[in-house]
Structure 1
Amino acid sequence: MAGKVSTIQRGGSRFYVDHVTQEKVPGVTSVVGMLPKPFLTFWAAKMTAEAAVDNLRAVESIAANDRDGAVDYLKGAHRRYTKLRAGIGSDAHDMFERLIRGEYIRRAHPDLEPYRVNFLEFLDAVQPELIRAEDVAWSDTHKYAGSFDALLSIKDEDGTPVTVITDWKTGKGTYADVALQMAAYGFADRLIDAEGNSEPMPHIDAAAVLHITADQWTFKPVRFDEEVFSHFVTLRKTFEWDREVSKNVFGKPFASGGGGKIVTGTQRRAR
């Protein structure tokens, strides 16, 4: 029997917890986070360099009295940017859900108003029908869960209704790993709503991303098939390795030494 679902943070990862069964499974984005991201090192370095150049006098002033404080300010540049963008993205997602559910929002905060205008333009141009929004996709087979933005019905070029699992993205760009995210949602076993009601995952025809910024919007399809999903499943195994299996790969030493005294395996077993 399924129950309401909540989320917790453990070791930097998000887990979904079923209140009835107490089963805990990792979130989709945490699993996708197992992908290597070497570009993040260069991005963080760039953000630090830009913070130093753009705030040169302030950094010099801080450093004159508190060197460690200046270092902390600079090394935290990428975290401050990420937190700011995450705040805007979260507020925009909340607004998008309200709008697609039919709530009238006359104007938004100046930071969000361009997103409101562009989202309304998307609704007018595409005329999507909302099926579900912000429900949890849960996989009993592969043990993961995640909250998706929307399940929509749109019409293709022939006017045929198509069920599309959809994600809103408000960052500077869209990246290939979104296909893994969408496949994870779409190939899950069931949906769980806010009240804890569970039902089998309906048939999904396609996946798409609405990339919406303050300047423009683009609604584009994302590859959605078994092959992409198989790569997500591989990452799910990698997550298990990283968080569980890798913690238990070493046993008691056969022999150890130090301080001039060597303990052999034979001596250890005799104790």
Structure 2
Amino acid sequence: MTKVSTIQRGGSRFYVDGETQEKVPGVTSVVGMLPKPFLTYWAAKLTAELAVDSIDFVSQMATRDRAGAVDYLKGASRRYTKTRADIGSDAHDLFERMIRGEALPRRVHPDLEPYRVNFAEFLDVVQPELIRAEDVAWSDTHKYAGSFDALLRVKDDDGEPVTVITDWKTGKATYPDVALQMAAYGFADRLISPDGFSEPMPHIDSAAVLHITPDQWAFKPVRFDKEVFHHFLTLRKTFDWDREVSKTVLGKPFASGGGELVTGTQRRR
């Protein structure tokens, strides 16, 4: 039995083996090594829109507390991301309960009701059979782990059952890096259930993402092969460089100059 827990270190999530205390980075933290230059422009746009849309409020705040006004504006993207993350987490919890066939409360929160309706339609149309949900995929070979949303059995175009590793996405769009996530999960060595039971990774035929928003849903195939997995492994090495190796490559200077000379007498004072 191997209970797995998670911790946050330096802005990254790590999975910890409760028996051996081995710590490995999470899949999403590894994928986070991809450069995302568009986020700079997105955050700047969000801050600018907030400043323009609430210019009177910000002006009054700045008169009383300039630092507070600055913090309010620079926190725009963080607050938006947290709000979206909270909704996404609640939606994921709802989806898991629904696909497991659990009874839901009589009244779902209004923010989640559109997600419930669309997920219910997905279940009705696709008729997926749940194999596993929210288990940890652990790679002993490459030292990473991550929790995937579901392992499903669905019928292909010929009506034959196939095993599909699946991720739910509730954002505005789906992005190519979801393929890196799916490959990392699917090519891991073993699955670990919430109660700590470990078993070899079963055969997986393909990957898919369910993109679900309040307005629509789409069940999309995701490329799932060794080439994509090798790109993930490149990021896994980059993660080690960023978090460990990069901190060891610069030594103390052989010589230096400039600045004010500090004499031995001054240091002893």
* Bucket of the pairwise TM-score, normalised by the shorter protein: over 0.9
- Alpha-carbon deviation of 1:203? 0.5
1:193-225 Cα offsets, whole Å, 9 max, x none, are: 011110000010000000000000000000100
- Alpha-carbon deviation of 1:259? 5.9
The 5-angstrom pairing of residues 102-181 of structure 1 reads 102-105=101-104, 106-181=106-181
Give the 3 Å change call, closer, same or farther, for CA 260–214 of structure 1 in structure 2: closer
Q: Distance in 2 between matches of 1:208 and 1:50?
A: 35
Q: Distance in 1 between matches of 2:33 and 2:228?
A: 15
Is the partner of 1:194 in helix, strand or coil?
coil
Aligned to 1:83: 82
Is the partner of 2:141 in helix, strand or coil?
coil
- Alpha-carbon deviation of 1:55? 1.3
- Alpha-carbon deviation of 1:251? 2.7
- Alpha-carbon deviation of 1:53? 1.6
Give the 3 Å change call, closer, same or farther, for CA 259–39 of structure 1 in structure 2: closer
- 1:111 partner amino acid: D
* Stretches of structure 2 lacking an aligned partner (at least 5 in a row): 262-269
Is the partner of 2:215 in helix, strand or coil?
coil
TM-score (structure 1 length as normaliser): 0.93
Aligned to 2:55: 56
Q: Distance in 1 between matches of 2:60 and 2:50?
A: 14
Is the partner of 1:256 in helix, strand or coil?
coil
Aligned residues: 260
Q: Distance in 2 between matches of 1:45 and 1:252?
A: 37
Aligned to 2:195: 195
Q: Distance in 2 between matches of 1:260 and 1:103?
A: 71
1:46-95 Cα offsets, whole Å, 9 max, x none, are: 11011112212211211121111111111100000000000000000000
Is the partner of 1:188 in helix, strand or coil?
coil
Q: Distance in 2 between matches of 1:244 and 1:179?
A: 26
Residue 67 (1) aligns with residue 66 (2): yes
- Alpha-carbon deviation of 1:260? 8.1
Q: Distance in 2 between matches of 1:160 and 1:222?
A: 18
Aligned to 1:21: 20
- 1:182 partner amino acid: M
Q: Distance in 1 between matches of 2:147 and 2:37?
A: 27
Q: Distance in 2 between matches of 1:258 and 1:170?
A: 54
CA-based RMSD of the aligned residues comes to 1.2
Give the 3 Å change call, closer, same or farther, for CA 35–259 of structure 1 in structure 2: closer
Comparing 178-187 with 244-253, greater Cα deviation is found at: 244-253
Q: Distance in 2 between matches of 1:169 and 1:218?
A: 10
Q: Distance in 1 between matches of 2:186 and 2:49?
A: 40
Identity %: 82
- 1:254 partner amino acid: F
TM-score (structure 2 length as normaliser): 0.94
Aligned to 2:184: 184
